Amino acid sequence: MKNIRCERMKGGLSVFLVCVLLLAGCARTAPVSYYQLSALEAARNVPATAEAGTRVIGIGPVRLPEYLDRPQLVTRLTPNRLQLADSHRWAEPLSENIPRVLGENLSALLGADRILLHPWPSSRTTDYQLLVEVLHFENESDGAARLVVRWSVKGRDGRIVLPERRSSHRIPATAQDQERLVAALNEALGSFCREIAQELRPLLVKLSRSEL
């Protein structure tokens, strides 16, 4: 009788261990989706401007807070609580993706072909240098994308030509699926690029006139 009871216990334990291993295997193989910010389609159709065609615009450094320096997408549930999505991740660090998209969007919006991303060789000089500090870049609990940045622009001689300012862009999400949430973040970054382009155009015109 004791042997039968032991055999039953061993059998039950074996089934339990098999279930645990299967569950662990499922956890390890859970699919992960990867996302990337991209240049805005509307920006690519903006005609080039003569003032910006020969100008060199430097992008960066672009600084991000540590909580965004991770592969997982971040959602802000409350002012003090964040949620990380392990199954939804950035395909590359935001510290690389954001500057590149800034450069692509500004190149198209301003018609500027000569864009440098920080750090560039010391032998290269820029007509204008965009300095950016990202304060917030995440979806909120309702899905809306929120981008808050401090930024300024330096001229050729290193002096500030556009003093530091704080910009905030909030874009509602059209749906709650993760791809639409990332699209809202992408649009928030694009809106910020349009703001920068609007401020840079008068400077480019002024620089061109000063060289006549």
Burial of 119 (0-12, 13-18, 19+ CB in 10 A): exposed
What is the rounded CA–CA span in Å between residue 70 and residue 89? Answer: 9
Phi, psi dihedral angles at 20 (to 5 degrees): -60, -45
Query: Quick one: which H or E segment has residue 185?
Result: helix 178-210
Domain ranges of the chain: 31-210
The mean pLDDT value of the chain amounts to: 86
| Stated pTM of the model | 0.82
What is the rounded CA–CA span in Å between residue 2 and residue 95? Answer: 65
Residue 5 reports pLDDT greater than 80: no
The superfamily CATH assigns to domain 31-210 is: ABC-type transport auxiliary lipoprotein component (3.40.50.10610)
Which residue would you say has higher pLDDT here, 33 or 16? 33
* pLDDT one-digit tens code per residue, 105-160: 999 999 988 999 999 999 999 999 999 999 999 999 999 999 999 999 999 999 99
Tell me the mean pLDDT in the region 94-99.
98
Tell me the mean pLDDT in the region 177-186.
96
Residue 205 binned pLDDT confidence (cut-offs 50, 70, 90):
confident
| Long-range own/partner contacts, residues 81-86 (CB < 8 A, 24 or more apart) | 82/138, 85/178, 86/32
Residue indicated by tokens 């950035």: 90
